[in-house]
Amino acid sequence: MNLPDTPPAASTSLSTTATIPLPSIVTTAGADAEHEFLTFFAGTIRNPNTRAAYARAWQRFDRWCSDVGIESLIDIDSLMVSAYIETLSQSLAVASVKQHRAALSKAFDFLVVRQIVPSNPVAHVSGPKLVTTKGKTPVLDDDEFLALLAAIPTDTLIGLRDRAFICLLTYTWPRVSSAVDLRVRDYFPKGKRWYVDLAEKGGKFTTKLVHHRTQDALDAYLAALAPEPDDWLFQSMDRRRQPTGRPLSRRNALHMVKRRAIAADLDPSRVCNHAFRATGITNYMSNGGRLDVAQEWATHADPRTTGLYDRTTDKVSLEEVERIRFERQGG
């Protein structure tokens, strides 16, 4: 007797829960707690990066609970959570502490609704205050960015791929997760111009006009790759520098841009995948771009987020600096 295939949605949920390690404080709370904990991760968190970050946060919390003798979810109260948040604050940045607190609070909220725990012990524990007026993502100036591109050889497939990838990040501003998820068919012409379809953060889908420099780089790369429409646009390479048919991972992309930075005599600590997004936004704003357009193009929900990437205020002219001067009065 042939059993029917598992529906795709169910299959996806099962594969998701298989990657979530169960903390010991959850397993000791019983089978219902295990089921609802996994349901929280599989059913309420759609972004795989958020899911992975929250899973790591729970693993860290579980280790702390083990160290202090807490055995089960139902034993946790606000005082314990407060002590844990204080411990995190001694070793992690404020933003990381807030993310860990959110991971715990949202899961506990879900478990309260599912009647696994009576209340959320995180609800009355405040996290550290984070006030950000300028982003920390490094930004390349014009000379550095052009030097980086010039250092990438264009007589190899991998060089053409890397140049096209960096151009897309800088001129079109997708998040790196969106860039590595592109298929060849997602880059297409409409009229006389070329566009790219991107699946962005929060389940948003956007179609963006491609800058002519990105178009030139992509066209040269695709001419050498000769792919099919359903192939991954940016493919990983094997030891012989041949395409594998698999997508370039975010980690491999990071290693790639670090190597390219070193080849261009740039400080690799100042070059990451996200730096190109910040570089493109800063360059746009410094050339008279509008904040509302930049916000839409970067798919930011809040213009203040876009403003964090704009580093044009970092450039204070020598003339203005020299206005600060102290002179002796009289004889």
Encode pLDDT of 21-69 as tens digits. 899 999 999 999 999 999 999 888 887 888 889 999 999 999 999 999 9
Nearest CA among 312, 317, 319 for reference residue 142: 312
Judged against a pLDDT cut of 70, whether residue 325 lies above it is answered with no
Positive or negative CA dihedral for 314, 318, 323, 325? positive
- What pLDDT was estimated at residue 161? 97
105 and 185, same domain (yes or no)? no
The whole-number pLDDT of residue 327 equals 61
277 and 189 fall within a common domain: yes
Q: Are 147 and 204 contained in the same domain?
A: yes
| For range 117-132, the mean pLDDT | 81
Task: Specify if 254 maps to a domain.
Answer: yes
Task: Kindly state the DSSP code that residue 241 receives in the 8-state scheme.
Answer: S
Mean pLDDT to the nearest integer, 161-179: 92
Same domain assignment for residues 193 and 107? no
**At 302, is the pLDDT very low, low, confident or very high (cuts 50, 70, 90)?**
low
* 2-6 average pLDDT score: 39
Whether 235 maps to a domain, the answer reads: yes
In 3D space, the residue among 292, 327, 310 whose CA is nearest the CA of residue 133 turns out to be: 310
Percent of the chain with pLDDT over 70: 79
Indicate whether 109 belongs to any domain: yes
**Percent of the chain's residues with pLDDT above 90:** 53
Mean pLDDT of all residues in 292-312: 59
132 domain residue, yes or no: no
Domain membership of residue 327 (yes or no) is no
Q: Is the pLDDT of residue 137 over 60?
A: yes
| Exposed / middle / buried, residue 256 (Cβ in 10 Å: 0-12, 13-18, 19+) | buried
Please report, for residues 52, 137, 139, 311, the alpha-carbon distance to residue 314 in angstroms, rounded to integers and kept in the order given. 35, 13, 11, 5
**pLDDT for residue 303:** 55
Domain count within the chain: 2
Q: Which CATH number is 218's domain given?
A: 1.10.443.10
Range of the domain at 93: 8-113
pLDDT at 128 over 80: no
User: Global pTM?
Assistant: 0.62
Range 232-241 average pLDDT: 92
The model's confidence at residue 283, banded by pLDDT at 50, 70 and 90, is confident
Residue 323 pLDDT > 90 = no
In a domain, 131, yes or no: no
Q: Which of 18-32, 106-120, 181-195 has the lowest mean pLDDT?
A: 18-32
Residue 322 corresponds to which amino acid?
E
Using a 10 angstrom Cβ sphere, with 0-12 exposed, 13-18 middle and 19 or more buried, the burial of residue 100 is buried
Q: Examine residue 285 and state whether it is found in any structural domain, yes or no.
A: yes
